[in-house]
Structure 1
Amino acid sequence: MKGNTHLMGGLAAAALVNEWIDGPASLDHQLVFYGAGLLGSLLPDLCHPNSWAGRKTKLFSKFVSKTFGHRTITHSWLFIAAVVLLAGALHSTYSLNLKYGLLAGVISHLILDACTSRGIQFLYPIPLRFRSPIYTKTGSNTEAAVSGILMIAALILLAKQHILNI
């Protein structure tokens, strides 16, 4: 999937998690939570030097890409565990907002990439690819429709939670 689809997925996932956990009340905590959801939605593509995350961490991205390949370690349970451990090691008033937001974004990224023809290696280092039975090609019209649906879902959840207060 492309970056804009991952961003919409991360925002929708963060809004859904916010609904489930009765998320942060204050504006600063909400900004950290949703910002972390957006960041987490792009982080797994550290393994792709031309992605947004890859361009921001060029040397590290090239190292990960050459060492592990695309959609392997950063699209696996190991990456989720690393995010949990690193976010859990932070001690600030925003720690939980950051942790849950990042997790929502990262997990949404993995689910979306599992819905592409290539799938992901979720059990890395076991070389097994996971792909949804319903999948699409990256950059296709179907992906554009998925991105639009995720945007609408995110807007509905955000409006429900922050405007309508229901």
Structure 2
Amino acid sequence: MTGKTHIIGGITASLAFAQTTNYDPFILVGAGVIGAILPDICHGGSKIGRTLPLLSKIINTLFGHRTFTHSLLFLVLMAALMNAFVPNEAFTAGILVGMASHLVLDMATKNGIKLLFPLSITVRFPITARTGGTAEYVVFTALSLFTVYFGYGVFIS
């Protein structure tokens, strides 16, 4: 998926999560956007990879793309680190929700992800989309509509 689809996915997931918690939705959404692009630190051409090119290059050299940073192991390690060093629970939750949305969206691509890294098993949905293709555009549109729906539920009602 492209960066914009991951961002709208992070927003949607954060707003949906906000409906079940008492966390500040603005913090959840802001952190959700960060979390939604964070797993692509392993790809130098991604939004975050271009922002932190040296770190991106190191991670890509060590692990490759869609392996460690797209795994449950990375998600658990980030949760442990953030719980230990970040006092704001809403921020931590937003990061993790955004990261989870990223993993789900990338499982919908042909290449899938190494969700169970270090095992080399590729995980993807039975029906997949090509990154940047028509199906991704449909996913982006659906996520945009869900963002409006969940945003209404969080901010209006």
Per the normalisation by structure 2, the TM-score is: 0.96
2:18 partner amino acid = N
Q: Shift of residue 134 of structure 1?
A: 1.5
| Structure 2 unmatched runs, 5+ | none
CA distances 1:1-47 after superposition (whole Å, capped 9, x unpaired) = 000100111011001111122x32xxxx4322210001000000000
1:88 aligns with 2:83: yes
Q: How far apart in 2 are the matches of 1:150 and 1:85?
A: 29
For 1:19 and 1:134, the matched residues in 2 are separated by 29
Conserved? CA contact 2:86–2:92, under 8 Å: no
Q: Which consecutive residues of structure 1, in runs of 5 or more, have no partner in the other structure?
A: none
Task: Please state if 1:19 is matched with 2:19.
Answer: yes
Question: Of residues 124, 128, 134 in structure 1, which corresponds to 2:121?
Answer: 128
* Partner residue in 2 for 1:30: 25
The aligned residue for residue 101 of structure 2 is 108
Return closer, same or farther for 1:91/1:39 CA change in 2, 3 Å cut-off: closer
Displacement over 6 Å in runs of 4+: none
Whether contact under 8 Å (2:40, 2:49) holds in the other structure is: yes
* Structure 2 SS opposite 1:80: helix
Which residue in the other structure is 1:9 paired with?
A: 9
CA RMSD, 1 decimal: 1.1
CA distance in 2, matches of 1:31, 1:15: 9
Q: Deviations over 1:95-144 (max 9, x none)?
A: 11011101110000000000000000001110000010121010001101
**Contact residue 87 and residue 98 of structure 1 kept, 8 A:** no
Mapping 1:53-72, distance limit 5 Å: 53-72=48-67
Which shifted more, 153-162 or 38-47?
153-162
Q: Is the aligned partner of 1:40 residue 2:21?
A: no
C-alpha displacement of 1:55:
1.1
**Kept after mapping to 2: 8 A contact 1:41/1:106:** yes
- The alpha-carbon deviation at position 64 of structure 1 amounts to 0.8
1:151 maps to 144
1:137 aligns with 2:130: yes
Quick check: 1:40–1:103 contact (8 Å CA) kept in 2? Answer: yes
Percent identical residues: 36
| Matched position secondary structure for 2:124 | coil
Paired residues in the alignment total 157
